[in-house]
Chain A
């Protein structure tokens, strides 16, 4: 039986797969490009779905179990789509001392979402970061990639209010 070493075809003809393929090519399609490639997939699509993991595993010739293992081992990778907006609360030591937990509690009280979850309307994903390295600005919160310093529960809720549809 002839073995099929042909390049696998991407799950769809979405143009973004070209970017993913470019990353794999740049790394010589080697096994060790797995993490780099998953970063590119997440950057392009926002999260890693089953099809994407299957495709990357075949393209880099690693077992699917290893691709899935890597995707679930690292906190940075998301297996579910994120909300339209993201709100990342830093829970580093300095931010913890300055009340990051109160911020998380108040978000949970107001919207019923825990860290890692998305509001029911799909508007806002609430995430936590281990440390943004912005400790001089504790407590730090990242709204859609923009870091805001010296945050308190009230200010955070006010900001989220604008995102969450009434």
Chain B
């Protein structure tokens, strides 16, 4: 397909859509689907059919609309309806063009929707993820064909570098720099592009939503990356726990191949690019890039020391570019609108937007995309709507098992890579768990340590043994069996595991402990000296003497 043909198809599809006077968008991403949105969609379609409105009102399944807590969520033209049941279908169609019934109505003006700025999620909740035509109508694949025809690979990289985009998987490495390293590497004719969709952090579901809501955007980003670095094969490594995302991704790849947007001689140029999906099998460590590559090669997912970095010697020993789903999802808009446009959003060192999965003790749980530099308070209280049932805010956890907890006094810090690192947490992939005062911070630290202990691959000693020792100490503390020496030992172990582990899993495993120790030391002391749990969560052993013996 050439650029002209693509624009032609986009125009045709837009015309077709414009013929409908009303559009009802039903969220069919995993969250709402499990609340029964497929039945809602069927009921609405039947109702439209029965009333002969087929040509004026379209009902389509779309990706995530964001506010998962009130699913099934639908959008009737510009208004949202929450907790919709199939029985509501008649009433909704009755009031088309009017405001929906009060019980269902959610204004698009509410802060949750109004304060977001969408780049990665611009199509999410707007287009049908299972139709390539919808994506094309939303300017899809224009960036790819434009880059192939009008730009050299070096120009593509320059644009990405200028945008200031940094890796969205957590570490925040400058994407343009990574691309140019891979582009310069000599692979003897073979290089690879890998999309890391092994979203293992518990409490994070950004990548799942992007893949379920707008899979073509990731494919387009990968193809552009392949052109820029000189690779013609791509892999997407997805968790097997995301069946819907896998299904939509596979369908999208087939559609793109059929449309000539993947495969040989894309857009009539000499550029070939193919993408294969590889399934993870439930190992958190496979989110680490060298472990991920081992897993793609069909081996146990164990990391190896770096250097050599994947950019020089990666998959099958060839230069390999690895980026996260969200990073690739940012590429097409950057090429379409220019790096300078992207660089104008966000803060000085963190450009663009970030998608967060907001969950835990917060009113509006769901997926949000905000410009970098917004404060945590804005995200938790304004967009998130604060703590439900009049609870008191205690901390917000970012970055999953590799991150830390941010207490109330730092809520006015801006959300960007540097600020969060300074607070002892990390940006991470974007999980954001809000905790009310019913959560015990020692127990939370213990939860994450249990996670790291089980997920440690066992290759290096500090991580394998250190996490188990720290877990044991934390368990003693939560049972009221610990002494002051135990606390000292715990702190020493934090240092040792952080400094001597082989990969990111071990190096960051102490983060939840050290950040809670930093801000909530009194809670640890209450468990140890006072043998009480301030949050009332931990049960103390009645007779410590007996237990120790």
Query: What A residues does B296 contact at CB under 8 A?
Result: 32
Query: What A residues does B35 contact at CB under 8 A?
Result: 137, 149
13 further A-B contacts with Cβ under 8 Å, apart from A30-B298, A149-B34, are A35-B295, A92-B203, A94-B365, A130-B241, A130-B282, A131-B203, A134-B31, A136-B359, A137-B69, A138-B360, A146-B34, A147-B30, A147-B33
Query: What A residues does B366 contact at CB under 8 A?
Result: 136
Asked if B496 is an interface residue, CB under 8 A from chain A, the answer is no
**Could you tell me if B400 and A69 are in contact, using CB atoms closer than 8 angstroms?**
no
**Could you tell me if B203 and A132 are in contact, using CB atoms closer than 8 angstroms?**
no
Interface size on A, residues (CB 8 A): 40
Within 8 A of B (CB), among A26-60: 30-36, 38-39
**Could you tell me if B203 and A94 are in contact, using CB atoms closer than 8 angstroms?**
yes
Closest chain B residue, CB of each to CB of A95? B202
Query: What B residues does A96 contact at CB under 8 A?
Result: 202, 447
**Could you tell me if A131 and B202 are in contact, using CB atoms closer than 8 angstroms?**
yes
Selected from B67, B69, B199, B298, the residue in CB contact (under 8 A) with A35 is: B298
As a 0/1 sequence over residues 133 to 158 of chain A, the CB contacts with chain B under 8 angstroms (1 = contact) are 11111101000001111000000000
**Could you tell me if B281 and A133 are in contact, using CB atoms closer than 8 angstroms?**
no
Chain-A contact segment, one of B115-123, B340-348, B431-439, B473-481: B431-439
Query: What A residues does B209 contact at CB under 8 A?
Result: 133
Query: What B residues does A148 contact at CB under 8 A?
Result: 34
20 interchain pairs, CB-CB under 8 A: A31-B298, A35-B278, A35-B279, A36-B279, A39-B281, A70-B298, A73-B301, A75-B283, A76-B282, A93-B359, A93-B433, A94-B365, A97-B361, A130-B200, A131-B200, A132-B241, A134-B205, A135-B204, A137-B31, A137-B34
How far apart are A27's CB and chain B's nearest CB, in angstroms? 9
Known: A31-B298, A36-B278, A74-B281. A97 touches B435 (CB 8 A): yes
Query: What B residues does A79 contact at CB under 8 A?
Result: none
**Could you tell me if A93 and B431 are in contact, using CB atoms closer than 8 angstroms?**
yes
Asked if B44 is an interface residue, CB under 8 A from chain A, the answer is no
How far apart are B333's CB and chain A's nearest CB, in angstroms? 24
**A157 CA to B14 CA in the complex, in Å?**
50
Asked if A77 is an interface residue, CB under 8 A from chain B, the answer is yes
Asked if B51 is an interface residue, CB under 8 A from chain A, the answer is no
Asked if A125 is an interface residue, CB under 8 A from chain B, the answer is no
Query: What A residues does B400 contact at CB under 8 A?
Result: 93
How far apart are A40's CB and chain B's nearest CB, in angstroms? 10
Chain B CB within 10 A, most for which of A38, A76, A136, A146: A136
**Could you tell me if A135 and B208 are in contact, using CB atoms closer than 8 angstroms?**
no
Query: What A residues does B451 contact at CB under 8 A?
Result: 130
B residues sitting closer than 8 Å to A (CB atoms) are 30-31, 33-35, 67-69, 71, 199-205, 208-209, 240-242, 278-284, 295-301, 357, 359-361, 365-367, 397, 400, 431, 433, 435, 439, 447-448, 451, 455, 457
Query: What B residues does A137 contact at CB under 8 A?
Result: 31, 34-35, 68-69, 71
How far apart are A52's CB and chain B's nearest CB, in angstroms? 15
How far apart are A127's CB and chain B's nearest CB, in angstroms? 11
Asked if A164 is an interface residue, CB under 8 A from chain B, the answer is no
**A136 CA to B431 CA in the complex, in Å?**
12
**Could you tell me if A74 and B397 are in contact, using CB atoms closer than 8 angstroms?**
no
Query: What A residues does B31 contact at CB under 8 A?
Result: 134, 136-137, 149
Chain B CB within 10 A, most for which of A38, A62, A74, A93: A93
**A93 CA to B241 CA in the complex, in Å?**
16
**A36 CA to B33 CA in the complex, in Å?**
27
**A130 CA to B71 CA in the complex, in Å?**
23
Query: What B residues does A135 contact at CB under 8 A?
Result: 68, 203-205, 357, 359-360, 365, 431, 433
How far apart are A68's CB and chain B's nearest CB, in angstroms? 10
How far apart are A81's CB and chain B's nearest CB, in angstroms? 18
